[in-house]
């Protein structure tokens, strides 16, 4: 059972425009959520997180929105840059296992076109 779902395998956006990456979850016990960015041949790097008690967290060009009633979160990147082209993973710590492991979505490949 996929507890964290990223239903869009890929997304193409023009440079300078907004990128919106979506993530849905099924487990209402998740305490917080993280977004990771992954370039080919590198490990995922932490991008931004949000606690379940908040509905928005912003860090520079990156903003994550959380809608608990819909069990949905989204990552907004504004403005998108070619260097943002990567695979983005949504993840949440498993509440039943001492916050390990992270439960990941399958990822969304973002391509920012110059």
Partner 1 sequence: KAGVTQTPRYLIKTRGQQVTLSCSPISGHRSVSWYQQTPGQGLQFLFEYFSETQRNKGNFPGRFSGRQFSNSRSEMNVSTLELGDSALYLCASSLASGADGYTFGSGTRLTVV
**Residue ranges binding partner 1 (CB under 8 A):** 34, 36, 41-46, 89, 91, 93, 97-107
Q: Are strands 108-113 and 10-14 parallel, antiparallel or unpaired?
A: parallel
Contact criterion met (CB below 8 Å) for 24 and 108:
no
In the complex, what is the shortest distance from the CB of residue 42 to partner 1, in angstroms, rounded to a whole number?
Answer: 5
> Residue 15 or residue 104: which is nearer to partner 1 going by CB?
104
Q: What is the 3-state secondary structure (H, E, C) of 39-106?
A: CCCCCCEEEEEEECCCCEEEECCEEEEEECCCCEEEEEECCCCHHHCEEEEEEEECHHHCCCCEEECC
Minimum CB separation of residue 78 from partner 1 in Å reads 26
Is 16 or 101 the residue whose CB approaches partner 1 more closely? 101
Q: To the nearest whole angstrom, how small is the minimum distance from the Cβ of residue 95 to partner 1?
A: 11
Nearer to partner 1, 91 or 112 (CB): 91
């Amino acid at each position: 059972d996929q507890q964290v779902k990223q239903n869009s395998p890929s997304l193409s956006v023009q440079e300078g425009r907004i990128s919106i990456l979506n993530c849905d979850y099924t487990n209402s016990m998740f305490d917080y959520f993280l977004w990771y960015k992954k370039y080919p041949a590198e490990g995922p790097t932490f991008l931004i997180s949000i606690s379940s008690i908040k509905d928005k967290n912003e860090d520079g060009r990156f903003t994550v929105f959380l809608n608990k009633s819909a069990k949905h979160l989204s990552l907004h990147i504004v403005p998108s840059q070619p260097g943002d082209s990567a695979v983005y993973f949504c993840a949440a710590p498993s509440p039943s296992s001492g916050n390990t492991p992270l439960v990941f979505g399958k990822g969304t490949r973002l391509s920012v076109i110059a």
